[in-house]
Each structure stands twice: as C-alpha cells, then as structure tokens.
Amino acid sequence: MNEDPVGNLVKLGFSEYEAKAYVALLRKSPVTGYELSKLSGVPRSMIYEVLGKLTARGAAMTLRAGSGIRYAPVPASEFLEQLHREHEELVDTLKDGLAEFASAPNLDYVWNIEGRDNIVGRAQEMIAQAKDRIYLSLLPDALPAVLDALKKAIGRGVRVVLYTVGDVTLPGANVVATPVSEEAASRVENLGIILVIDGEEVLISESLTGIGAQGSWTSNSLLVFIAEHHLRTDPYLPEVLECLGERAADIIRDEDRVLFARARESRIEA
C-alpha cells in the first residue's frame, strides 16, 4: 500500500507543488500564503500561483480575516468524492466520444507478458470475459490463482474444461486429469498455463512458481485454433498409443519416436 499522499495526488493530476501545498493545508489551516510556503516547502515566488490552482480545482478556499486573506483546504473526503465523480463522468464521456472514432482493431499480433502477477491478471480477465467455453491446462498448484474466476464463469453457464495432471475437484467443470510418472513429472513441472476462451483468445505461459515468468497472449485465429486443438486432442494420445500397441512402431516416423515414447510413458495406472 502506497502511504505517500503527495505522490498519490501527483498520480491524480496534481503538480508536486500543488500536492505539497494541499497536504500542508490539511495539516494546519487557516494560514497565509507566506505561512503555507514555509509549511509546505513551496517557494514563496510560486505559492500564490499554486493556491490559485488549488482554489480553481476545488481543493482549497479563501477566507477573509480583517484586511488579510487566509487559506483553508476543502476537507479531503469531500474533495476526493468530488474528484471521483468528475473522473467517472469524464470516463463515461470518453467511452461514447472515442467509440465514434474507433475502428476495428487488428489484434493478430502477439503480446509478450512478463511477471507472474501480470500473467495471472490477464488469465483472470480472459476467464471473466468468456461467454461460451473455456479450455484450460495447468498444474494443480497454479489453480488457486484463477479458481474464483473459473467458479464465476461456471456460474454464468460457461463450459469449462480443465486439463491437469493431479487430483483436482472443480464442481461444474469437466476435469481431465492425466496421472504421470515421476519421470514425466520432472518434464511438466515448468509448464504454466494454456488458456483458450471462446475460440477467440489464447494465453500461454511458463511456470507461475517464480516472479520472472514469461507469457504470450494473442487473438490470432490460427494460433488460437492450434492451441485449442492441442488441448482437446493431446489427452487422447496416450490412449491411442496404448490401443496401437506394437503397431505404433510401424506408423510413427523415426524422428518422432522419442516424442511419442514420452507421451506413452506419461500414462500410468491411476
């Protein structure tokens, strides 16, 4: 939590001098411009310009006392509520105004996402936007990060298919759990998330156990199709190989045999 009021006011559009002067007014008022300059650290040559801007902004008010003028702050709760309303109105206006100029975006590019929190945040947003179906592959220890979002999606009637390697329970979802051997587990421990929603977007990332995780998001239709096809067909591969038995050696090309052997090894007795 950021406890720097001056810094936070600057983020809301105040200049540094305006923020310092307003915080100083909250601490002591009413004061003269000269007194406020000393309290806030704002140069005397700038203090009255700053006070004029605070007054125009609705953050300060002038008080006439005899022949002099003193300044006092508008209470923080009142001013912030006013600021909140103004920002809401501005955002609503921009939504309507900018929509007139917006053309259909070209989203065929791939976004690179860095950091666990950013990847998880994108996954949560995608799940929250899903309307029809969600295909998701992850390890059990990554599930808590998106569990609430998945439950809400299920509550909206979205079809959720979850592919994992452990014992996972998610009521309302179709959970496809493929047990793996210890040897295979060492190969999948660096896997993160593969998430496809509505056949329109895909997010792929490496393991979420570290803060330096890397991920990619795109709505490129070909890449989305490949990812969804992989998720929906890959769980059948060990069973297909099991059915083929020794015939698999005659069908699979030499350069692919190691890959298929690993897929076959990953299927163990549950």
pLDDT tens figures, 98-122: 877 765 555 568 888 888 888 889 9
Residue 91 domain-assigned (yes or no): no
Provide the token pair at 111.
């976004």
Residues 6 or more apart from 100 whose CB is under 8 A from it?
none
Same domain? 236 vs 195 = yes
**Beta 201-206 vs 191-197: how paired, if at all?**
antiparallel
Q: State the Cα–Cα distance between residues 236 and 77, nearest whole angstrom.
A: 60
Residue 82 domain-assigned (yes or no): no
Q: State the Cα–Cα distance between residues 196 and 202, nearest whole angstrom.
A: 4
Same domain? 248 vs 132 = yes
Same domain? 139 vs 59 = no
Q: State the Cα–Cα distance between residues 185 and 183, nearest whole angstrom.
A: 5
| CB neighbours of residue 97 within 10 Å | 9
**CATH, residue 153:** 3.30.870.10
Q: State the Cα–Cα distance between residues 270 and 265, nearest whole angstrom.
A: 13
Number of domains in the chain: 2
Same domain? 148 vs 30 = no
pLDDT-above-70 percentage for the chain: 80
Provide the token pair at 69.
């003028």
Same domain? 12 vs 127 = no
Condensed to tens digits (0 to 9), the pLDDT of residues 142-187 reads: 888 899 999 999 999 999 999 888 778 899 999 888 765 555 455 5
**CATH, residue 45:** 1.10.10.10
Residue 85 domain-assigned (yes or no): no
Residues 6 or more apart from 21 whose CB is under 8 A from it?
36, 40, 42, 47, 50, 51, 54, 60
pLDDT of residue 48: 95
Same domain? 44 vs 128 = no
| Confidence category of residue 267, pLDDT binned at 50, 70, 90 | very low
Q: Is the pLDDT of residue 268 over 70?
A: no
Residue 270 domain-assigned (yes or no): no
Amino acid at site 104 = A
Same domain? 67 vs 151 = no
Residue 167 domain-assigned (yes or no): yes
Q: Is the pLDDT of residue 257 over 80?
A: no
- For residue 137, what are the domain limits? 110-265
Alpha helices in 58-190 (DSSP H): 76-99, 116-129, 147-155, 182-188
Q: State the Cα–Cα distance between residues 214 and 222, nearest whole angstrom.
A: 21
Amino acid at site 233 = T
Distance (Å) of CA 93 to CA 79, 86, 88, 89, 99: 21, 11, 9, 6, 10
- Which among 172, 221, 170, 215 is positioned nearest to 198, based on CA atoms? 221
Same domain? 246 vs 154 = yes
